[in-house]
Amino acid sequence: MGTGRATVRRVTALAHAALVGTTASGKSALALAMARRDPGIELVSVDSMQVYRGMDIGTAKPTPAERAEVPHHLIDLADPWEDFTAAAFQARFREALAGIEGRGHRALLVGGTGLYLRAVVDDLEIPGRFPDVRAELERDPDTVGLHRRLQGLDAVAAGRMEPTNRRRVLRALEVTVGSGRPFSAYGPGLEAYPPTRFRLVGVELPDDVVLARITARYHDQLAAGFLDEVRRLLGHPRGLSRTARQALGYREMLDHVAGLASLDEALDLAVRRTRRFARRQRSWFRRDPRVTWLGADDPGALVGPLAGELGVA
């Protein structure tokens, strides 16, 4: 009885947390270091591509040894020919978190997929998909005209986006037309940052350090068999889903394997695309005022400060 009360007090005092930052910023290694210090921590991947089985090297997935040492969740949830959505991730997260809490442990979320993170830490109400409506809308090349249509159906949603942002305009119209419910009725959306029970901590490295780490990681992945992994994926009869094909590095290596680019060209494009993605990640997470930022030139120097933020001995 006494032990149970102590466990409840501990979980209450030490809240669940999320470690965010750009790709190649050392988040995963830092999270693993925290879990090694505190056996009450279980790691939860918040990565939209680590959900795919067989996409291991190119997604920098934790190794089998690391996963055997420390509990990891939300990895290998789907086959690479399947589309996987934020709503599906949210549902699986709720199951994983309930199990972690049932063991008297706490979750440390780690990853750089901003939408997936917001879906779970803010418990967003995520609208469904309406593929027939989406296909019809995509046939119209006039994005500004589509925005005017959205303005007439849901002025609030239209006011939250640029008329030229085709991705956002299409999604808002898809939901509004498909569900018969205004897109804005699904909540304040990503522009609001409400209180959350998760402690949000960010890792920030200088731009030149991130670039060097991105480049080095691609070289390490190629040495580890990244191209063989891509060939296996490409050779499967069911192929890769549209979502999986967009994974950083995979799209470029798929072009190389298909003979559309040399390895050097594919590698250079992958590095440049990943660098641009890292900048977008930084901007996304920087907008969230709830994140406490830890900066250094070397992620290893952040082990102590992060332990302090998370209350890890």
Q: Which of 240, 248, 245, 281 is nearest to 266 (CA)?
A: 248
Give the pLDDT of residue 189. Answer: 73
pLDDT attached to residue 14: 56
Q: Express each pLDDT in 168-224 by its tens digit.
A: 899 999 999 999 999 988 877 788 899 999 999 999 999 999 999 999 999 999 999
Q: If we measure between CA atoms, which residue out of 208, 204, 256, 237 comes closest to residue 58?
A: 256
Tell me: pLDDT of 142 over 70: yes
What CATH number has the domain spanning 2-125+194-206+282-310? 3.40.50.300
Class at the top of the CATH hierarchy for domain 131-186:
mainly alpha
Stretch 93-100: mean pLDDT: 97
Q: Hey, what CATH class is 207-280 in?
A: mainly alpha
Question: Tokens for 205?
Answer: 């490295």
How many other CB atoms are there within 10 angstroms of residue 76's CB atom?
A: 16
Q: What would the two tokens of residue 243 be?
A: 């979502």
Whole-number pLDDT of residue 255: 95
Domain boundaries of the chain, sorted by first residue: 2-125+194-206+282-310, 131-186, 207-280
DSSP track, 3-41? HHHHHHHHHHHS--EEEEE-TTSSHHHHHHHHHHH-TTE
Distances (CA, A) of 89 to 73, 116, 119, 125, 174: 11, 7, 8, 13, 21
Give the integer Cα–Cα distance in Å for 217 and 211: 10
Tell me the backbone φ, ψ of residue 203, rounded to 5 degrees.
-105, 125
Phi, psi of 26 (to 5 degrees): 90, 15
Render pLDDT for 275-297 as a digit per residue (tens, 0 to 9).
Answer: 999 999 999 999 999 999 999 99
Give the pLDDT of residue 58: 97
In this structure, are strands 106-110 and 41-45 parallel, antiparallel, or unpaired?
parallel
Largest CA distance in the chain: 66
pTM across the whole model: 0.86
